[in-house]
Chain A
Amino acid sequence: MIQTGLNKVDLIFEQVNPKDVLKKAYEMTSEEIIKQILESGLKGRGGAGFPTGLKWKYTAAEKDPEKYIVCNADEGEPGTFKDREILDRVAYKVYAGMAIAGMAIGAKKGIVYLRGEYKFLLPKLQRELDIFHKLLSEVGFDFRISYRLGSGAYICGEESALFESIQGERGEPRNKPPYPTTSGVFFKPTSINNVETLVTAVMIIHHGAEVYNQLGTKDSRGSKVFSVSGDTPIPGIYELELGMTVQQFVNEFGDGDTKAVQVGGASGFCVPRKKFAETIIGFEGVPTGGSMKLFNSSRSMYNVLHNYLEFFVEESCGQCTPCRVGCQQLLKGIEKVKKGEVKSTYLNELMKLADTMKLASKCGLGQSVGNAFKTIVENFREEIIY
């Protein structure tokens, strides 16, 4: 492996024989599969970064005979489009990942929750699923996958909101605990994993944890699929080894005039030019579910922040007050500052509000609004005021 600069990797889209991997996993015990995933250091690829092996271990330990594997394909974070590409190109690996997770935790049912915006893919995905089910029968593992479609709600990417949606309810997040590993979809023990996480698990079983372990850093093992967009001459999907700095990323993808990179979408962090060199993309620096947006100096960061806040105002489920009211007040607040209706020091009050939302919101949505808000206001205060 070349360790200089950006290391392009081809694990996620690498073709494998699904039957061979399934057979290999089927011959392993549940403990052996979980041990491999734990040793690989794989963390969830949807953004939150919970260790996948632990999730499987906890779900496997539950006594309830009815358990579920849910694949979170409700990819809604602005700037993320990798899961669509993965499903489009290697759906069989997603299904294989679900089956292997099923073997690990003792589940017989899997559900893919696909965002409504990707409905056009469903007929093809369903055909590929039929082929996969035949393959499973040949291997001898009793496991069935079905699809559920979302209907245009960002919040349903939050795991407990997603369960509610599958159960036919409004997609409002639940209180935690209990966590999904004990009470998930239909209130049964559930391992919910992102599309990319499941595919990565297949590749770990295929190549072995020690091979995967050679990629990445101590806190961010392996590689990651990045969705690159914004002011870049080469937007698209790239699988890269983790551990690079934002500077290295900008050297590869920037247009020569990059002033900021938004890492992790609207709920992620804004990294300004002066911090490119010191900021690592990964769990030791700025984590991301894959969304990487580049902004050059022709862009107004006020417009960027305004767009993000409008997004959150619309997508907040409205269930808890800190998030429902907080999002609206942050948006109104920066509009007032911009118009000069209030003093610029009002931004300090809004920063406190963002902190309160982080502490008091019920789910990840409200808790993350402050990430973009604070990093943009801190680094581009003048652009917000004038």
Chain B
Amino acid sequence: MYSVGNLVKELAEKHGRERDSLIPILQGIVERHNYLTDEAMVEVAKELDISAAEVYGTASFYTFLDTEPRGKYVIRVCKTITCMMKGKNEILQTLEDMLKIKVGETTPDKMFSLLETNCIGWCHKAPAMLINEIPYTELTPEKVVEILKSYMKK
């Protein structure tokens, strides 16, 4: 667990304490800590003076506002039709082999989470994936190995 109180206050100063500040604040927490803990959501609820259930209800609607533990680098491989046609499965297999985890899992060192996602808008350069917010396109298994190695060195 991490201490999230200060971050929530900092984000509330930046985005305000209105209801429409909620999602930017949650996005700010995910950007820093990769996912939303219960503790973080309770802090946000207190700060905005709304119920924690409303915070959870909103967060759980959005795929990128993860309420489950995620690694430092969240890999989202596009699984929609064009990426599927252009070899998404080989990309996923390469990632699973390198990270020794399955889709939906996080490495034990909490560095990488591997997920599938719906169309990320790179169909003309399929297959594609996001690592946090950075897109990688025209992937091949060799290219994926290189990309992942560069993250492992970070």
Contacts and interface: CB of A to CB of B under 8 A. Distances in A.
Interface of A: 75-81, 84, 115-120, 148-154, 165-172, 186, 227-231, 235-237, 266, 293, 299, 303-304, 307-308, 311, 314-315, 317
Given A81-B124, A168-B21, A116 B85 contact: no
A229 to B, nearest CB: 4
Contact of B22 (A75, A154, A168, A311): A168
A153 B121 contact: no
Contacts of A165: 23
B123 A293 contact: yes
Contact of A235 (B26, B57, B124): B124
Interface in B75-132: 79-82, 84-85, 117-126, 130
Contact of A231 (B24, B26, B85, B122): B85
A165 B23 CA distance: 8
Contacts of A148: 23-24
Interface string B124-154: 1110001001110000000000000000000
Interface string B14-33: 00001111111011000000
Contacts of A169: 19, 58
B2 interface: no
Interface of B: 18-24, 26-27, 57-58, 61-65, 79-82, 84-85, 117-126, 130, 133-135
B118 A78 contact: yes
Contacts of A171: 61-62
Contacts of B122: 81
A315 B22 contact: no
A282 B23 CA distance: 37
10 contacts: A76-B118, A116-B27, A119-B133, A120-B134, A168-B19, A168-B23, A229-B124, A266-B80, A304-B81, A307-B80
A10 B61 CA distance: 39
B124 A227 contact: yes
A151 to B, nearest CB: 4
Secondary structure class of chain A's binding surface, majority of residues: mixed
Given A78-B118, A151-B27, A167 B19 contact: yes
B117 A170 contact: no
Contacts of B18: 168
A153 B61 contact: yes
Contact of B63 (A153, A170, A229): A153
A266 B79 CA distance: 13
A152 B117 contact: yes
B81 A228 contact: no
Most buried by A among B22, B63, B126, B135: B63
A299 B62 contact: no
A84 to B, nearest CB: 5
A151 B63 contact: yes
Contacts of B85: 230-231, 299
A79 B58 CA distance: 28
A334 B127 CA distance: 26
B121 A75 contact: yes
A308 B81 contact: yes
B92 to A, nearest CB: 15
Given A81-B121, A171-B62, A120 B133 contact: yes
A113 to B, nearest CB: 11
Contact of A236 (B80, B124, B133): B124
B119 A77 contact: yes
A39 to B, nearest CB: 33
Contacts of B62: 150-153, 171
A307 B84 contact: yes
Nearest to A165: B23
Contact of A79 (B19, B22, B57, B123): B123
A293 B82 contact: yes
Contacts of A75: 121
B123 A227 contact: yes
Nearest to B84: A307
Most buried by B among A117, A149, A186, A304: A117
Contact of B81 (A84, A167, A186, A307): A307
Given A230-B82, A311-B119, 16 more contacts: A76-B121, A78-B82, A79-B81, A120-B135, A148-B23, A148-B24, A151-B27, A151-B64, A167-B20, A168-B18, A168-B20, A229-B123, A229-B124, A235-B123, A307-B80, A314-B118
A298 B27 CA distance: 42
A304 B79 CA distance: 12
Contacts of A311: 80, 118-119
A237 B125 CA distance: 11
Most buried by A among B61, B62, B120: B61
Contacts of A307: 79-81, 84
A380 B131 CA distance: 37
B64 A116 contact: yes
A79 B122 CA distance: 8
